[in-house]
Amino acid sequence: MFLIDVLLCMHVVTTRGLHHQLGGSKLSIKKNSISDSDLQPEEWRQNREAARARRLKHGRNAKIEKRQALLAAQQEFRKQLRRKPEYKERCVELEQLTVGDWFDGVVRKLRPHGAYVSIGTEIDGFVHVKDLRENEFVQRAEDVLFLGQEIRVCVKGVDPDTKRLSLSAVALDHTLTGDKAISSFTLNQRLTNVRIMRVTPYAAFVDVGAIIPAYLHVTDVGLLPRKRIGAPRVPRVQLQPGIIIPECWISYLDPESPRGLRISCLTPEERSVSTNP
């Protein structure tokens, strides 16, 4: 025990003596700040700068090429818009046309509600916007057609006496089968076995025997009751072209409106409950 105390005293004396010899200053080691570039040879730095210059040059060239490609595409689009429509040579008379015949035509005029197409007759046939797409609602003909575009159409109606020609870009199976006036229908009238003509993301056009198709919105389809608790509810009718709706009711009438005929798969009582909760 005595030996341990002696050794501790000698250690304290030695430490104080060393501190006195250094003048009471603390030892501090400063880290030498040397950059990585100073540690690398000059040739390596030159290669790195050259690679950086190549990357910058490649980036500028890529931007220039992209700009040139965009300008070329824009010029091609403008040239296509300025292109004059080609005219079909006269090869058939109006008296020789029959409903359902298909022809390759060229768009000659565009109107908001349709397009005039030349099929080789003395007059141009008119294609209404509702006959441009089968399962898509077209608001304007310019959205899906351009001047000079080749389009395949069928004869929907022809009258040689009045020089009128009606064409359609969809098959005649999807056209209207009746000619009843809207005024001949009544509100809440029950209709049976009507056929869906075209389908859009939010509605369907239904042939009810009128001069215009009836409009059926998805909110008017209705849902079937659940088969069990927690089961999902399915719509009463699947909105697909050609599907037969067993029964429906007229929910809106306006003879002066182009969409003045609307139907609903909900009964008048169900509609009154849904509107007046």
pTM of the model: 0.44
Q: Which of 146, 173, 200 is the last residue of a domain?
A: 173
What single letter denotes the amino acid at residue 107? V
Start-to-end CA distance of the chain, whole Å, equals 99
CATH of the domain at 115: 2.40.50.140
**Res 26: pLDDT:** 43
Question: Does any domain span residue 220?
Answer: yes
Using alpha carbons, select from 179, 167, 31 the residue that is nearest to residue 101. Answer: 167
Q: Give the C-alpha separation, 107 to 127, whole Å.
A: 10
Q: Give the C-alpha separation, 207 to 245, whole Å.
A: 10
Q: Judge if 194 and 259 occupy the same domain.
A: yes
Q: How many domains does the structure of the chain reveal?
A: 2
Q: Which of 136, 153, 173 is the last residue of a domain?
A: 173
Q: Which of 155, 173, 191 is the last residue of a domain?
A: 173
Please say whether the beta carbons of 239 and 135 come within 8 A. no
pLDDT along the chain (277 residues), means of 10: 55 49 44 48 77 73 78 80 66 84 88 89 88 78 86 88 88 65 88 86 85 87 80 81 88 80 90 67
Please say whether the beta carbons of 195 and 242 come within 8 A. yes
Task: Name the residue range of residue 227's domain.
Answer: 182-275
